[in-house]
Amino acid sequence: MGEAGKILADAMEKIRQEAYASGWRDCAAAITKAVNESRPGDLPSMESLNERAEDAPITSNNSAGAGGQIPTVGTVPHYVLAAVKKRPGSTGAEIIAAIQSDGHKFDDRLIRTSLFRLDKRKVIVNRHKKWFPL
C-alpha cells in the first residue's frame, strides 16, 4: 500500500473510532437523562427485582449444544422450529415447502442442516421421517 493509501486508511480508522465514541456518548447521555427524569416510584425496588429473578426460569444460551436451546429469531433454525411447531408430523420436504411458501428464500440444504442440528440439540425429534417438537 502506498503512502496515500496508508494516510487514507488511518483517516478512515480515526473516523470509525470517533463515530463509535460519539454513539457511546449519546447513549450515556440518553440513559442519564432518562434516570434524571424518572421519579423514585417509577423505578422498581431491588426486592421486587430479586423476587422476579427468583421466579424466572434458568435458561442457557451458549453454543455448546445445550439441550432445549431456543434459536435466535430471524435465523434459519428459528424458522425451521416455527414450521415444525406449526405443522408437527411434517416430513423434511413439507417443512422446506412451508418455509419457502412463507417467502423465505433459504436453500434446501440450509433447512435440512437446521433440522438435523435442532434434532441433535434435542429441540425437535425425528420419528419415522416426520419431525415433531419436544
Domains of the chain are 3-55 (no CATH), 76-133 (1.10.10.10)
Contacts of 60 (CB under 8 A, 6+ apart): 66, 68, 69
Q: Please enumerate in sequence order all residues whose Cβ is within 8 A of that of 117, keeping only pairs 6 or more positions apart, or say none.
A: 77
Residue 63 — very low, low, confident or very high, per pLDDT cuts 50/70/90? very low
pLDDT of residue 65: 46
Which string of b and e fits 33-46 if b means at least 16 CB within 10 Å? eeeeeeeeeeeeee
Over residues 12-52, the pLDDT tens digits come to 889 889 888 888 888 888 888 887 777 766 666 667 766 66
The string of DSSP codes covering 84-115 is HHHSTTB-HHHHHHHHHHTT----HHHHHHHH
pLDDT tens-digit series, residues 74-109: 889 999 999 999 999 999 999 999 999 988 888 899
